[in-house]
Structure 1
Amino acid sequence: MSDDDTDGVTVTGAVRDLGWFSWLFALVVGGPSYLALLQEVFVDHRLLTVLGRIVDGYNRILLVIGGVFEPLLGGVIRAVSEWVNVSLVLQPHWKQLFVLGMIFVASYARTAWRGKQRVAAVLVGSALMVLALTCAAAASLSPLSSWLAHGWAAFSMTVLLTVVLAVTVTIRTKRSVGFAPPREGFVRIKNTSRTAYSLNVFALALPVVAFALGAFGAFIAQLHASAGIIAFNLVLLGTGITAVVMGVREQNRSSTRLGLTILGGFLAATLIIVADRLIALLQTP
């Protein structure tokens, strides 16, 4: 089935259509990203006992990434701190957030590339990478110790998710209309515009919802150190499910792909935790 064909989109078909590279990227990068991010906030509880080397190895890779970007970010943050006369310090979890955000960017870039929009894939993809770095840094400018910090962390990263979702759906809409035969044109314009409208309205509400969840969660004692991160992950999980459901219902392949890419990371993280618990149980005398 061609990438430009919006007919006959199903979950199983979309799983096959996503391709081995996207699944590999979502599972190998997404799974450890979620686990490393959660481990960063649940410092008193080790999520993995037997398979902890997965997160440890991933964190070593993040140190390399941090070595590339932190000098640049440090200079910008110092300049902003002096300008606004507020002490801003980049927190360690920015690296996990940045890599997690790059999963969304890679999903968009692959969709645009396969749709023969090579220039958009490179230029818009590069702009989204800069936005991912900016949002990750913005979400990590203060310790997660107040309701405002938690709400801001969730809000900042959800802005990136919102932009990627909106750009993916908008470009897909233009491409669908462009390839439609004259008689089918109105039907496709109507259907894809409805999908774009629904998803974009949904996306615009996401940052506000994420901020509210993060801020509210900060008042729960058990979540005081992790509310913002948990809120963002909940919004992310809900977005993935919504994108798949709406993509299949409205026959929008790009929406379905983005949703599956997001859910692939959660699936990988869940499988790793389950495998860790099973191995630990089997090793118990």
Structure 2
Amino acid sequence: MADYSKVLEYIKASEARVSTISKSTKEVETEIKTLDGEIEIMRAKEKQLKDELSYKRKMVDEKEWEFQNLKNTYEVWANMLEEKRNNLDIIENELRCMQQNVWDTRISFYDNTMDFLNKNDILLNNDGLENIIKKKQEKNKLSESVKALEMNLNITENIHTEIKGRYDLLSHLEKEREILLEYEQTSDIKRLQCKIDSYNSELECIELEMTKYSDRAAMTSHEVVTKKSRLSNEAVGTHCRSENSLSNKPEIQEGSFEHLERKHPFKPKVPSFLLEKNFFSVGKKQKEINKNVEDI
């Protein structure tokens, strides 16, 4: 009877251990559910951060496109201004040449006029036929030169008018260039550049935060897998110890339970599916032992 009482005590202790294991298993399942919930929250946060990152990148692309358009416009206007400046230099050189030609023409006209007047005075003093013929010839030449000078003067005036119009156009373009240079230094361009810099800094912060969340989620998943594997190994060891102790019941002696407990310390963390299997196997062994006791 003493031996069976010890067996009953051992069975009660086993039931207590089973209840403790079930409680610890429920705690582990609760902890795993909590970790799963945290993982889902992290995934939702990661998705939200990815959406924000895509939106910020889209905004940055739009701002960069706008800035590039403004830059291209400025380059086009700068090229036009440089071209007009070159044309202005060419036109100014032509104008100087034409002015020099006009002054030369006026000087030659003055010289010819003075010569004509001097010769006319001489002809007036001489009444010879030859002098009259020479006077008429010189008069015809002078009229032709006057017509040529008038034509040159009209052409020069037309060219001067055209050059003046081009000079006015270049002055207008110079004013527009000054306006473009002032617009380049305005607060709108600077504010746009500041916004682009702030968007870039925000993108860097979001990428760092996403890296942190990804590392944390990977570490959490690794910890859960490690804990499940460790608990599975411990549950298999506990099940083997229970079967060995029950199969050797005729050889139970005093102090053997203490030796088993010291040799195999109790570890309560076991997964639920292994606990159910272990529980049914231990229950069958308990029913067999109770039946043997009643028969005796």
**Aligning the two structures, in what range does the TM-score lie when normalised by the shorter sequence?**
under 0.3
Q: Which has the higher contact order (CA 8 A, sep 6+)?
A: 2
Give the TM-score normalised by structure 1: 0.21
Give the TM-score normalised by structure 2: 0.20
Higher fraction of helix: 2
